[in-house]
Amino acid sequence: MLLNTDRQSLVWKLMGYVYVTHLWPLINANLVPVNLRGPAFSLLGAKIGKSVMVGGKILDPSLVEIGDYSMLGEDCLLTSHAVEGDRVDLGMIVVGRNVTVGVKAVVLPDVHIGDNAIVAAGAVVKKGSRIGAGEIWGGVPARRIGEVGRGEGVRERGRDEEM
Ligand SMILES: CC(C)(COP(=O)(O)OP(=O)(O)OC[C@H]1O[C@@H](n2cnc3c(N)ncnc32)[C@H](O)[C@@H]1OP(=O)(O)O)[C@@H](O)C(=O)NCCC(=O)NCCS
């Protein structure tokens, strides 16, 4: 559901003003350490779980929820608004628990990502996408490209494969 009620638009505009004029320069300059960006975005209205690592950017904190232990990779972007010509679509982005959003991925409005899912590096997740728990989505636009396997941990590609 895209949220285009007057009230939500007003809140979004007010938050956007404060955010862009006062806080965006700090975040853009990477002055806030990765492990403190979760609490920082919480103060701005996002619902952020525990131990969330935020390496990327959240453009509309009041329209974002992120579950425990999730990670937003470096330079990814969560935007809950999309300006398209003379209209603006607003939609909640809801990220489950233990989700990985890959480096440089873009997540557009009204996207829900289930627990343990992975958004691949560089993916563009289009408006209204519903990513199921444990699914891997990648590409532009992003589509389901796989499922998270069992028993995965740290792998050293190359070395482990040779053994
Ligand atoms: C998507 C991803 C999880 C797949 O990793 P993997 O399970 O090791 O799988 P492989 O590299 O063997 O690739 C499996 C398939 O996915 C495709 N794929 C891999 N990365 C992709 C990407 N970024 N976008 C689109 N497709 C991708 C491969 O082409 C391959 O397709 P094929 O089976 O048709 O040949 C991984 O490439 C990725 O993007 N991880 C994100 C890591 C990240 O940025 N973390 C946050 C910061 S540390």
- 163 is a domain residue: no
Range of the domain at 120: 6-146
- 159 is a domain residue: no
**From atom 20 of ligand 1, which residue's Cα is the shortest distance away?**
120
Residue of 134, 131, 138 whose CA lies nearest to 147: 134
Tokens representing 72 are 């937003």
Decide whether any atom of ligand 1 lies within 6 Å of the 67 Cβ: no
Which of residues 61 and 156 earns the better pLDDT score?
61
**From atom 19 of ligand 1, which residue's Cα is the shortest distance away?**
120
Q: Facing residues of 107 across strands?
A: 78, 125
- 118 is a domain residue: yes
Decide whether any atom of ligand 1 lies within 6 Å of the 104 Cβ: no
Rounded to two decimals, the pTM is 0.88
Tokens representing 104 are 């440089």
Q: What is the dihedral of CA 97, 98, 104, 110, to 10 degrees?
A: -20
Question: Can you give the pLDDT at residue 4?
Answer: 58
CATH number at residue 34: 2.160.10.10
- Number of structural domains, the chain? 1
Question: Can you give the pLDDT at residue 43?
Answer: 85
pLDDT in tens, 119-148: 999 999 999 999 999 999 999 999 999 999
- 161 is a domain residue: no
Identity of residue 67: G
Residue 114 scores a pLDDT above 60: yes
Share of the chain above pLDDT 70, in %: 84
Q: Tell me: cis bond preceding 109? Omega within 30 of 0 counts.
A: no
Q: Which of 106, 125, 140, 145 to mutate to test the pocket of ligand 1 (most atoms within 8 A of CB)?
A: 145
Task: Determine the Cα–Cα distance for residues 153 and 163; give it in Å rounded to an integer.
Answer: 16
Helices (H), the chain: 6-18, 24-28, 34-43, 159-162
- 1 is a domain residue: no
In order of 42, 49, 56, 104, the CA distances from 22 in angstroms are: 16, 25, 18, 24
pLDDT in tens, 76-104: 999 999 989 988 888 999 999 999 999 99
